[in-house]
Amino acid sequence: MNHFDYKAETLHCEEVSIKDIAAQVGTPFYLYSKATLSRHFQAFDGSFSVPHITCFATKACSNIAILNLFGSMGGGADIVSGGELFRALQAGIDPKKIVYSGVGKTRDELRYGLESGILMFNVESEQELEALQEVAAALGVQAPVSFRVNPDVDPKTHAYISTGLAKNKFGVPIHEALTVYKRAAAMANINVVGVSCHIGSQLTEVAPFVESLAKVKNFIGRLKEAGCTVKYLDLGGGLGITYNEEEPPAPKEYAKALEDELGALGCTLILEPGRVIVGNAGILVTSVLYTKQGGKKFTIVDAGMNDLARPSLYDAFHAILPVEDRGQGLEKGDVVGPICETGDFLARDKEVPVSRPNDLLAVMSAGAYGFTMSSNYNSRPRVPEILVDGDRFHIIRRRETLDMLIAGEMIPK
């Protein structure tokens, strides 16, 4: 459920007309509903009955206003870079609820995590473990560690976002992990606290989650026999959403399947949901510049692949709705941006609203991996982010200016 609905033929976000926002801030812009964000966070977090921490996957939507909202609801953060750690801390997230994932953490980033006192590092290789031991020793502290194990489970999702297969770069193969744990346990500045696992994103079935949990559970049994403490079990993120006709399990169903499989393991669960919380809580609003009939019908809008990369990168579907529904109907064609590449499209060969110049279009389900994957390609300033709360809206990130495009650049003398 979300809070984007038509009222008197005009699309609203909660109580605010999207047309009014566009008139005030210009287009394009990302728009989020606070009511939807809160509802989704609560629906997810409230579905688990065992002790757990919901560490929102910062990469999905990293604006500090949004991280702050989840923090105020008891949430933590899953981070994958020093930049995300900085954001999470600036947003007021409790460091003791921050988990640090990723295959390529630099020594500077490891140090920053240690100095910030985060809950744990999800270590993905033996060399990373050695680096962490060195950095922790230099600081004279203990590094809390869980290893990300790779269970070799097929998440049945897009190849680019599958992470739990043996052929993917992620984690330590589960059958080799015991040796690595034993090595870690013997290191002076490493404190083994858990096990983590994340098999992929936009999963629309519970079976792969359960299959991977079964493997991890079995592994935890062996770890305990070997005398390792497993305080935290991090199950990653990955629960999918409806973009089109997908029917992913509801958070309650997902939580129940996991808890049933978990049994009485006695660990605190860490969950790293991203998309399921923010995906359908945000949209991208764009204006029609021109239309033209070439080999097919093209609707040219002021947002492009630099603003929303998902259609170009994954051939992802995002529904496109007219902000003002005057009964214009649909026609088959492409909605394309101003970028100089044929791969620049928001919809390709789809039924899209019949449009004319200056019409506003809403690109739906863009809250996850929308703004965060945007870039300045073609020297286009990044667009603002707007948060609606009831009958008011707040600019939570300003539109970039032309000066910001070249800030930091210089011509050698």
The footprint of ligand LLP (CB under 6 A) covers 57, 60, 78, 101, 161, 198, 201-202, 236-239, 272-276, 310, 314, 368-369, 373
Joined together, the tokens standing for residue 403 give 């000066």
In the bound state with ligand LLP, the residue whose beta carbon lies nearer, of 137 and 373, is: 373
CB of 40 to ligand LLP, least distance (A): 12
In the bound state with ligand LLP, the residue whose beta carbon lies nearer, of 16 and 31, is: 31
In the bound state with ligand LLP, the residue whose beta carbon lies nearer, of 308 and 323, is: 308
Q: Answer for the pair 368, 161: CB distance below 8 angstroms, yes or no.
A: no
Q: Which residues pair with 285 in a beta bridge?
A: 29, 362
Q: Is 304 helix (H, G, I), strand (E, B) or coil?
A: coil
CB of 156 to ligand LLP, least distance (A): 13
Q: Answer for the pair 179, 240: CB distance below 8 angstroms, yes or no.
A: no
* Residue 346, burial from CB neighbour count under 10 angstroms (0-12, 13-18, 19+): buried
Element (H, E) at 34: helix 34-45
Please state, in angstroms and rounded to a whole number, the distance separating the CA atoms of residues 93 and 44: 18
Please state, in angstroms and rounded to a whole number, the distance separating the CA atoms of residues 303 and 305: 7
CB of 320 to ligand LLP, least distance (A): 17
Please state, in angstroms and rounded to a whole number, the distance separating the CA atoms of residues 363 and 280: 11
Long-range contacts of 71-76 (CB under 8 A, 24+ apart): 73/38, 73/41, 73/42, 73/45, 74/45, 75/41, 75/45, 76/119
In the bound state with ligand LLP, the residue whose beta carbon lies nearer, of 30 and 369, is: 369
Residues 6+ positions from 313 with CB-CB distance below 8 Å: 160, 305, 373
Residues 6+ positions from 283 with CB-CB distance below 8 Å: 4, 13, 30, 31, 362, 363, 364, 365, 366, 367
Active-site option among 55, 61, 228, 340 = 340
CB of 373 to ligand LLP, least distance (A): 6
In the bound state with ligand LLP, the residue whose beta carbon lies nearer, of 169 and 394, is: 169
Residues in the chain, total: 413
Is 340 known to be catalytic?
yes
In the bound state with ligand LLP, the residue whose beta carbon lies nearer, of 101 and 286, is: 101
Task: Kindly tell me the sign of the dihedral angle through the C-alpha atoms of 340, 341, 344, 350.
Answer: positive
CB of 80 to ligand LLP, least distance (A): 7
CB of 347 to ligand LLP, least distance (A): 16
Residues with a known catalytic role = 340
